[in-house]
């Protein structure tokens, strides 16, 4: 349910459970962690999904069985965040709940015009992944983060762009992501890593 495709120094990772809105199971998350952790020699990664929804968060049955509070969520977002390469989330549709973690951990985010964004942890009685609130705050500020995480605000793609949650709205986010990755793909890996490190002040 996780597909990987490598084209030179570009790795594309696709959530491939469209019949279940790409809701994540523990096995899917482990596969994502393996794919990301093994991508030590690529210059760019594009994370996308199959179907009309990027990710509905945790699979409901798995969430009830304990996945909602699993350390796998933080392990996945942490693995993405520490990559030295350029990481781009190309959102083919709506992003909800626990799916936010891996997207917030990416360097750049693009979404289709019809995408919606919501993270209903207050309503569902769960805490967000530990790193999600501060990553979200870094992008959109404390007040808007509280609107999403505490007031249950659901926003569309244009509002997400206006907030700064995503960097572009485009009908073909994967194509745009490849365009954005072009300079990194033509650069030396250490140069990509150095610029990313300077921006992140590491």
Tell me the CATH number of domain 2-200, given options 3.40.50.2300, 3.90.226.10, 3.40.50.800, 1.10.150.20: 3.90.226.10
pLDDT in tens, the chain (202 residues): 999 999 999 999 999 999 999 999 999 999 999 999 999 999 999 999 999 999 999 998 888 888 988 999 999 999 999 999 999 999 999 999 999 999 999 999 999 999 999 999 999 998 999 999 999 999 999 999 999 999 999 999 999 999 999 999 999 999 999 999 999 999 999 999 999 999 998 6
Q: HSE-up of 189 (CA within 13 Å, CB side)?
A: 13
pTM of this structure: 0.96
* Closest alpha carbon to 192 in 10, 47, 6: 10
Record the tokens describing residue 20, joined without a space: 């279940």
∠ CA 58-161-184, nearest 5°, is 85
Instruction: Identify any residues that bridge with 168 across adjacent strands, giving them in sequence order.
Output: 110
């Amino acid at each position: 349910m996780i597909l990987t495709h490598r084209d030179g120094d570009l790795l594309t990772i696709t959530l491939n459970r469209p019949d279940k809105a790409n809701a994540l199971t523990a096995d899917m998350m482990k596969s994502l962690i393996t794919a990301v952790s093994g991508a030590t020699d690529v210059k760019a990664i594009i994370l996308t999904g199959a179907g009309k929804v990027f990710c509905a968060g945790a699979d409901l049955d798995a969430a009830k069985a304990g996945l909602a509070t699993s350390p796998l969520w933080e392990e996945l977002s942490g693995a993405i965040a520490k990559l030295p390469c350029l990481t781009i989330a190309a959102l083919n549709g709506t992003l909800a709940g626990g799916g936010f973690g891996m997207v917030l951990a990416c360097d750049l985010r693009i979404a289709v015009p019809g995408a919606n964004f919501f993270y209903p942890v207050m309503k569902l009685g769960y805490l967000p992944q530990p790193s999600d609130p501060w990553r979200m705050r870094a992008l959109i500020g404390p007040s808007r983060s509280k609107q999403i995480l505490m007031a249950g605000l659901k926003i569309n793609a244009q509002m997400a762009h206006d907030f700064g949650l995503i960097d572009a709205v485009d009908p073909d986010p994967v194509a745009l992501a490849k365009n954005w990755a072009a300079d990194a793909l033509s650069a030396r890996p250490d140069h990509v890593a150095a610029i990313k490190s300077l921006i992140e002040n590491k």
